[in-house]
Amino acid sequence: MSVERHYDREFVRTFFTSPTAVEGEDDSAKMIQSAAQLRGLKAPDVWVPDNEDATAPSMRDEGVENIISVVAEHGAEFPGEIHPRMVWHRERPTTRYQGFQHMLQIANPDNGAVEHIDGFVIPEVGDIDDWKKADEFFTIVENEYGLEEGSLSMSVIVESGEAELALGDLRAEMGKPSNNLERLFLLVDGEVDYSKDMRGMTPTGELPSWPELRHNTSRGASAAGLIAVDGPFDDIRDIEGYRERMIDNRAKGMIGIWSLTPSQVVEANTEPLPPQTGSWLLTAGDTDIELEQTNGKHIYDGDSVSLSVEDDDTHHLVVGSDEHTLDRDELRSELLKMTAYVPSMDDIVDSMEEFEAAKEAGKGAIAMTQSATLVIDGVEIDIETDRMWDEATYQAAMTPIALFQDVYEHRTDQHNELEDRYGADVVNRATQVGN
């Protein structure tokens, strides 16, 4: 069975939640009013007016009124998608009914908001039957107002062991006449409630990282043709930690991440895109260090690696506690093991265009050469590596380019910023390559 995608977007970088009603404020809707004004890289791919955890229970009815008012007024101009988060709970029928009533209110065409709303986010789902129960409520809402069945997408937050196990049932259930689970859009990790459900503990009281949950969610999304999004990163001041989390996620095929603040939105919108400039990395111990580029040379400035010349063809290399006496060829070989190149957008496009031309000429594989002059403790050494490009390599390179193309297609408000980042020529070539 092939995987069919049921939505336009192939990627979501940012899932941004904001309280729908703030108690004690003259304008309880000020947070979603502010979110609705975000544009460019400050605006998320998916904005989630959050009428669950981010909003006090006593304010949720008012929160629904605020969603309707703000989305009706600003929804047409908002550049991303809008998916309000409703209350739901696998074990609480009264909570599910409240969420259903709120959905009915928001989706009423007379209120002027539903035409700008792409779907709803459902938290605290349980087993696959609970997912289908939520789908039934969506169908009732659509039929109530004459909306096309399946027009409101459903995203779920995986916050329990039950929901995680349901990921394995999802692909088999989608497409059955008894449900409309094709409306599913995002699978989102909810590590906070998941930790509570799993009774996870750490000595510091911080959340466990749950790499298995992120892997399972990404795998479930891939199998069912959906999009996976990681949960919230609570330490909003730890920008470097947020970046590292995104890098780790991307290795699992998970591009999107929850954003709690506009500054996290900018990071999450930017980090997955190909770099503006290429860079060489030198591995020193467990750390990858980006080398500084000066006058076409790549310079290491640190204490973990040292290099000296003993005579014309003998070098002394120290890496941590390991010492090596090497001739020049051995030194090149050792440095090649310790280095890696991170290609820029221009580099990726160049390589893809070169491979496309080779394919047109009847070649199935070609060698791509990457060279650099490294400088360690003032000692210069030239390195060069060849990488074979075949169709599999080309398709792997297409993933970051496809992300860029998806962004460029769906986020026209970011065009100017993308051209400022890469240059108009690179942007134009990146939109054409692979097509």
Average pLDDT over residues 362-376: 93
Average pLDDT over residues 338-358: 95
| Strands 46-50, 81-82: pairing kind | parallel
Each residue's pLDDT tens digit, 370-424: 999 999 999 999 999 888 999 999 999 999 999 999 999 999 999 999 999 999 9
What is the full DSSP assignment across 270-319? HTTSPPSS-EEEEEETTEEEEPEEETTEEEE-SSSEEEEEEETTEEEEEE
Decide which of 301 and 4 is more confident.
301
Each residue's pLDDT tens digit, 236-281: 999 999 999 999 999 999 999 999 999 999 999 999 999 999 999 9
CATH code of the domain made up of 14-270:
3.20.20.60
| Residues 400 and 348: beta-carbon distance below 8 Å | yes
Q: Rounded to 10 degrees, what is the CA torsion of 341, 347, 350, 355?
A: 30
Within its chain, how far is the Cα of 235 from the centroid? 18
| Residues 284 and 321: beta-carbon distance below 8 Å | no
| pLDDT at residue 58 greater than cutoff 80 | yes
pLDDT band at 311 (very low <50, low <70, confident <90, very high): confident
Each residue's pLDDT tens digit, 153-172: 999 999 999 999 999 999 99
pLDDT of residue 33: 97
Average pLDDT over residues 42-67: 97
Q: What are the distances in angstroms from CA 415 to CA 43, 45, 259, 350, 427?
A: 13, 14, 22, 21, 9
What is the full DSSP assignment across 84-104? PBPP--TT-HHHHHHHHHHHH
pLDDT of residue 2: 40
The terminus-to-terminus CA distance of the chain in angstroms comes to: 25
Average pLDDT over residues 285-308: 91
Residue type for position 217: T
pLDDT band at 312 (very low <50, low <70, confident <90, very high): confident
| pLDDT at residue 17 greater than cutoff 80 | yes
d(CA 184, CA 241): 30
pLDDT of residue 3: 46
Each residue's pLDDT tens digit, 200-232: 988 988 888 899 999 999 999 999 999 999 999
| Strands 339-342, 153-158: pairing kind | unpaired
What are the beta bridge partners of residue 49?
A: 18
Average pLDDT over residues 79-94: 96
Phi, psi angle pair for 220, to nearest 5°: -60, -40
Average pLDDT over residues 342-366: 95
| Residues 20 and 67: beta-carbon distance below 8 Å | yes
d(CA 236, CA 367): 43
| pLDDT at residue 5 greater than cutoff 70 | no
Residue type for position 55: T
| pLDDT at residue 15 greater than cutoff 80 | yes
Task: Write down the residue that tokens 């969420």 correspond to.
Answer: 99
Sheet containing 292-294: which strands, arranged edge to edge?
292-294, 297-300, 366-376, 379-389
pLDDT of residue 285: 78
- Across the chain, how many H-helices and E-strands are there? 14, 18
Name the residue ranges covered by the structural domains of the chain.
Answer: 14-270, 279-393
Within its chain, how far is the Cα of 325 from the centroid? 44
pLDDT band at 6 (very low <50, low <70, confident <90, very high): low
Rounded to 5°, angle at Cα 132 from 128 and 137: 150
